[in-house]
Each structure stands twice: as structure tokens, then as C-alpha cells.
A and B are shown apart, each in its own frame.
Chain A
Amino acid sequence: QVQLVQSGADVKKPGASVKISCKAAGYTFTTYALHWVRQAPGQRLEWMGWLNTGDGRTKYSQKFQGRVAITRDTSATTAYIELTSLTSEDTALYYCAREVRYYGSGNFYWDAFDVWGQGTMVTVSS
């Protein structure tokens, strides 16, 4: 069964860091890119960054540049996101999501996030 299983909820103090894991199962880990998306209470989904699971390349949203890092351990089929200098505005449900490529005729293709983790709630509070 294809699934992404994330680490459990966490509570952090302002200024601290948090590291969330996302373990892939049921497919070849290095075949699909992974993204991290968060959702603050009552807010929209917000894209944070992307990981090429094959070669480790990353791309981050400019909003989080400098305080986010996405890494992977291919032997453990697990991706990680670490966010530093936490504030109350980082309180959110964090998701990892697999990027799938749908192919059409010719050279057409389209990307979407087809498998999501269950989400990890991070609460930042003093």
C-alpha cells in the first residue's frame, strides 16, 4: 500500500527548531519527488519546499528561505523537514506529499500531489 507516514505531534517554544519525518512505503522512494505543505488553523495550504529524492536537490519557498531545510535518508526511505527560529505563526499542520506526473499524448505531462502524509501538528507556544 502506497503511503507516507509522518512523525507525531510536537510542541515547541518560540525560537526553537522542529524536525518532522515522512517515511515512504509501498513504492520506490527515489522515483517520486516530495513536497512539504503546511496549513495553519483556518488558513490556506501553503507550499514550503520540494525535494528531489533521487539526488537530494531542494527548492524552497522564498518565505522560508534561510530557516528551512529538507533532507532525506534513502536507506530509510524517509524525508525530513527542519524549521528553525519558530514563532507562534509557525503553529500549523505540516504535510509531506508525493509529486506524481500524469502523462498525456505527445510530450504533455502534468504534476500533482497524489499521496499525502497524515499530517504532523506543530504547536509553538511559550
Chain B
Amino acid sequence: QSVLTQPPSVSGAPGQRVTISCTGTSSNIGGGYDVVWYQQLPGTAPKVLIYGSFYRPSGVPDRFSGSKSGTSASLAITGLQADDEADYYCQSYDNGLSGCWVFGGGTKLTVL
């Protein structure tokens, strides 16, 4: 089962901008499949931040933005706030073997 690769942790001071990368392969992101980004606050279920690699559901602040190029995608967070401290996961579809959804390993964001 293919997986997506994320950095284990990133950090930034309040007000700063951080980016989280998500690297896949030709069977998922590189194969044209879009990326979903989730935010998981401690003790809660994941919440959709970005779908279709670029788009925000209603209610998600425009401080969160997504991009995609080749076999990678990125999540950018501007104007960091204390309550952005959470785990962030990327997700995509993988057409290897019989096809399945795959997730990144998660990135812990620390707001300094």
C-alpha cells in the first residue's frame, strides 16, 4: 500500500507563515489524483481544510491554502494562531493494486 510522506513536525511563531509538504508517487498525486488536507486537534476527529488540492470548504479561513505540483502537494498556513496547533494529514487516492485511499504520516504543527 503506497503512502504519502510528510515532515513529522513544523513550527512557527504567531503571525508567521508555515508550509507542510506531502510527497507521493506516480500512482497517487503524480497520477493526477487530488489531495485533501485534514486538521486534527488533540482528542478530536479530523476536519477537512482543503479538498481538490486547492479548495477550501465553507467556514475554513483563507489563512489556509493548498497547492500541488508533480508528485507533491503543500499546505500553507499564514498568520499563525495558537489554536492552529494540531496534527495535519494529507490524503489522496492511489491506483496501485486494487486502488485505495492513502494518508500521509501526519505533521505536528507547534506554534511557538
Known: A95-B45, A112-B48. A47 touches B100 (CB 8 A): yes
B84 part of interface (Cβ distance < 8 Å): no
B34 part of interface (Cβ distance < 8 Å): yes
Known: A47-B101, A102-B52. A119 touches B45 (CB 8 A): yes
Within the assembled complex, what's the spacing in Å between the Cα atoms of A7 and B77? Answer: 35
How many residues from A make CB contacts under 8 Å with B?
24
Q: How large is the interface on B (under 10, 10 to 19, 20 to 34, 35 or more residues)?
A: 20 to 34
Pairwise interchain contact A102-B100, C-beta atoms closer than 8 A:
no
Closest A residue, CB atoms, query B4? A44
Give 8 closest A-B pairs by Cβ, nearest first.
A116-B45, A110-B52, A47-B101, A45-B103, A112-B51, A112-B36, A44-B105, A110-B51
Chain B residues proximal to chain A, CB less than 8 Å: 1, 3, 34, 36, 38, 45-46, 48, 51-52, 55, 57, 89, 91, 97-106
Sample of 17 more A-B contacts, CB < 8 Å, known A44-B104, A116-B46: A35-B101, A44-B3, A44-B103, A44-B105, A45-B106, A47-B102, A95-B45, A102-B55, A110-B34, A110-B55, A111-B36, A112-B36, A113-B38, A114-B48, A114-B57, A118-B45, A119-B45
